[in-house]
Amino acid sequence: MNDTLALVVEAKTTPKRDKKMPIINIAQRQLRTFVEFEDTYGSKIRVQASSSAEGPHCWVFVDHPTGKEPGSAAHLSPEQAQKLILGLQEFVGTGWKKPSEALPLPQETVIVSVKDKERHWRDTLLAEYVPRYSSVVDWDDFDGEEDQVDHNEEQDEWYWPEGWYFVDTVDGAVTPCKIADPCIEITHWMPLPALPKKQNQVTR
């Protein structure tokens, strides 16, 4: 275990955001957190942590600066992993996110908090975000007007407009939020929680 890895494991938390350790990549998928950053020697450090029904798990990897020699890896104990997960959560942020700060993956169903601008009420719904020119219109299922969709002249193709779309919890149908209710504003969003794992059933 090199000095950098020992430092991360011993501290049981992630380094602070500063110029000495610039962030390369941060991603969260199904309660797993992946953080990549570089130390002052150029080593790339990757932290993977997860919290499941079996308890917390965490691996810390340190790649050699040249990429030509083996790096180091360590699997933390449940106690160390729990502390590191808490540090990661504080480091990358969890729970609700503002759309102005980050957007979900294209067409990924997430939980959204909506606010009505006129009637001053809030609600929690399912929605997805569609980037521009990413979702082609299926005219067999579309019964609206042409001015409700975007036309890409270079590709001569019609696309759903960029923006948020509500997701029906019954049939999965999507509706543009602006069409469903122009007064609604999506203020925050968060990923869907992971499904519970099936427990082994004892048969008699």
Per-residue model confidence (pLDDT) at position 191: 83
Using a cut of 0.85, tell me whether the model's pTM lies above it: no
Spans of the chain below 50 pLDDT: 1-31, 203-204
Domain extents for the chain?
A: 3-92, 110-191
Q: Where are the alpha helices (DSSP H) in 43-124?
A: 78-92
How confident is the model over 167-194, as pLDDT tens digits? 887 777 777 777 667 778 888 898 887 6
Pick from 164, 158, 156, 161: nearest CA to 139: 158
Pick from 195, 197, 137, 192: nearest CA to 167: 192
Per-residue model confidence (pLDDT) at position 95: 72
| Strand order across the beta sheet in which 184-191 lies | 174-176, 163-167, 122-130, 110-116, 184-191
Please report the sign of the dihedral spanned by the C-alpha atoms of residue 51, residue 54, residue 60, residue 63: negative
Per-residue model confidence (pLDDT) at position 103: 85
Give yes or no for a contact between 166 and 181, defined as CB atoms under 8 angstroms apart: no
